[in-house]
Amino acid sequence: MAGVEPLIKTYAKFVTLPWQQNLAPPQRVWMVVYPPREERRLRVRLQEFEIATVQAGHAWSCVDVTDAFARWLASHDYRDAYFESPELLDESALEEYGDYLYATVRTALQSEHAGPDSVVALLGVGSMFSFYRVSRLLERIAPDIQGRLLVLFPGERDGSNYRMLEARDGWNYLATPIAPTEDVA
């Protein structure tokens, strides 16, 4: 089967399994890995992930960081200079963007809807490509995860190595992968 349908079915089974409460923070991250070409299809069907989560007896919330870079840049004091000379967006400036991302996701993880029995979905991580590493964001926010963080990840996985958009060198992470080929029984 192609598309996101098998991914939704796998997730629907996975979210019903009993949750271990004594996991290390990085292990509370679930990575839904899908081909980047499926991004729009996944977004259209995002509500099905929510329905599966709620039917399994868990709370659901979603934080979308798709336009986070634009929002950060628009509010930055040096935005005009960055537009005139993009090379000024150096590592230091992009670390400020990382701080903005961290604060955005942390707010969602600390909301009233994000308790120990909830799923917070992180959508739009592909938009971070070339600006800030998903691995760095996950390292920073892991201690703030109370329930589970569902990262919708456009890329690929080989073992515990994840590659964003099939282009960047991957990183090894302790997250639980959710892919249509995973056995959840």
* DSSP code for 16: T
Query: pTM to 2 decimals?
Result: 0.88
Domains and CATH numbers, the chain: 5-15+24-178 (3.40.50)
What lies within 8 Å, CB to CB, of 73 at 6+ separation is 79, 82, 97
Could you tell me what percentage of the chain is helix, strand and coil, using 3-state DSSP and rounding each to the nearest 5? 45, 20, 35
Other Cβ atoms closer than 10 A to 86: 8
135: left (phi over 0), alpha (psi -120 to 50) or beta: alpha
CB 149 within 8 A of CB 27: no
Mean pLDDT of 113-133: 91
| Cα distance from N-terminal residue to C-terminal residue, the chain | 19
CA pair distance 157, 155, nearest whole angstrom: 7
CA pair distance 159, 19, nearest whole angstrom: 22
The pLDDT assigned to 182 comes to 47
pLDDT tens column, 9-64: 999 999 999 999 889 888 999 989 888 889 999 999 999 999 999 999 999 999 99
By mean pLDDT, which of 110-119, 127-136, 155-164 is the weakest? 155-164
Q: 1 falls in which pLDDT band (50, 70, 90)?
A: very low
CA pair distance 150, 179, nearest whole angstrom: 12
Q: Pick the more confident residue, 89 or 97.
A: 97
Whether the predicted pLDDT of 172 surpasses 80 = no
CB 138 within 8 A of CB 151: yes
